[in-house]
Structure 1
């Protein structure tokens, strides 16, 4: 098992939205972090973003761990001393599978390998891959750290339980709120429940029972949440919501098609959400 973690870094493959936020979290208690990306600009922007979060946190400089950046061709070097590496590449199945296979070849035998995938269980990501040691591989799915500290940790049938225990303990020490997903679950815990909510909201609107604005209003009135399901889908991006729904439908034929058809009409009309100014609402 992994020992003497104090000076051993967490490596993060991908310096995008999730990678840079995770770099902030894993470095928040003075531990080193290695941030890896193929694009130099992503690395530079990531470091600047981390600096901004640190300034907002108003902690002494000495309490932060060093964040070192590495290009893609330095991946092997970045991994050599790491106790944990988390892939944070875009949510594309074959890309994630390729990255996990590469990490398995390059990371030291004591390094835990984790995926930050939001929709694919780790069992699906590694299915059919020729891996040297699949017992150290698991999922570590985060949401929007540091604002949302939830971290869902899910293994597969052969994951070493000690890897899960260690990650639960260490992530808690670094400000996460870890949850152990005890069985293979598409959508983990929260996203599985959220998928049902957004799907039923879409179906309710598609059937003409109420408008998206009316559904959001009653949802917020009853649950006292800052956003309703349609406002939240606009933030995520309607194309992303559709991709996730199609993935669920591939695995579960009982899911109704009307919510996906409803989304497709909006997307075909150029309505993608906040990112292009038009979704269920105008921005």
Structure 2
């Protein structure tokens, strides 16, 4: 009988649960070397928009002769079939702990034993998500975020970290191993401090979002400032992440969240709603 690692290594497809911003980008990356991606979401319009988004990414980033895998869309009732032929399934659902716990429990119950289950959470570690859950196999669960930071928990089997690292590199990612549990991984932990101070400066009236972005870009020569980047991420997502940091750490100032709520109460979520810190004219569904 093949070991679980050997069996998983024979599979090439990846399943992604959640067709939002992160799910679409991951679908593009994991399909960029000719392997199929199964994309699962409860909203049919999200799935349809994701296909167009992946095509847009390919037109901008892929070379003409590169092999491309298929993006196969599924609704939630097709979850078992969607993960059956994959070596990896990644959850990309909104940053809400009960939802992530529900999804990981579902994936653990339907995914074959040799399938690695990864959480794409921006701030919740696997240890936090798994706390109190009764799962069949916690050793195959890990965290994977950005491009890509891979972080296990106390029960993660090291061979899954190794397989994730090698497969990520083969698909054009730049994988990094986060060697101990870290809220926000490495990059997002640093980014959280930057965006929090930017929000606090604006809340105090030290500068407007436009002025803070301008000085940030002028000094660091980056294409986007923190407020522009938060608009891309979604101000509701930024608020959820900030709330998690505040709940977990207890030393986070409240002013940045209060400042964000002023925009959320108006329905200004950023690029996806057409208006956030900046006005984008119309909602961007892609």
Q: 1:214 aligns with which of 199, 211, 214?
A: 211
Unpaired runs of 5+ residues, structure 2, are 281-286
Q: How far did 1:65 drift?
A: 2.4
- Distance in 1 (CA, whole Å) between partners of 2:101 and 2:81 is 21
Q: How far did 1:276 drift?
A: 4.1
Instruction: Say yes or no: does 1:190 pair with 2:187.
Output: yes
Q: Is the contact made by 2:19 and 2:41 (CA closer than 8 Å) also made in structure 1?
A: yes
Matches within 5 A, 1:1-283: 1-3=4-6, 5-56=9-60, 57-60=62-65, 63-142=67-146, 150-268=147-265, 271-283=268-280
Closer, same or farther in 2 for the Cα pair 1:55/1:231, shift >3 Å?
closer
Q: Is the contact made by 1:2 and 1:83 (CA closer than 8 Å) also made in structure 2?
A: no
Q: How far did 1:278 drift?
A: 4.2
- Distance in 1 (CA, whole Å) between partners of 2:231 and 2:54 is 26
Q: Is the contact made by 1:76 and 1:107 (CA closer than 8 Å) also made in structure 2?
A: yes
- Distance in 2 (CA, whole Å) between partners of 1:2 and 1:69 is 26
Q: Is the contact made by 1:7 and 1:31 (CA closer than 8 Å) also made in structure 2?
A: no
Closer, same or farther in 2 for the Cα pair 1:232/1:41, shift >3 Å?
closer
Q: Is the contact made by 1:117 and 1:139 (CA closer than 8 Å) also made in structure 2?
A: yes
Q: How far did 1:181 drift?
A: 1.2
Q: Is the contact made by 2:11 and 2:87 (CA closer than 8 Å) also made in structure 1?
A: no
Secondary structure of the 1:113 match is strand
- Distance in 1 (CA, whole Å) between partners of 2:45 and 2:83 is 21
Aligned residues: 275
Secondary structure of the 1:157 match is coil
- Distance in 1 (CA, whole Å) between partners of 2:136 and 2:271 is 43
Secondary structure of the 2:236 match is helix
Q: How far did 1:83 drift?
A: 1.1
Secondary structure of the 1:139 match is strand
Secondary structure of the 1:186 match is coil
- Distance in 2 (CA, whole Å) between partners of 1:265 and 1:43 is 31
Q: Is the contact made by 2:122 and 2:241 (CA closer than 8 Å) also made in structure 1?
A: no
Q: Is the contact made by 1:7 and 1:32 (CA closer than 8 Å) also made in structure 2?
A: no
Q: How far did 1:254 drift?
A: 1.4
Is 272-281 or 82-91 further displaced after alignment? 272-281
Per the normalisation by structure 2, the TM-score is 0.86
Closer, same or farther in 2 for the Cα pair 1:208/1:79, shift >3 Å?
closer
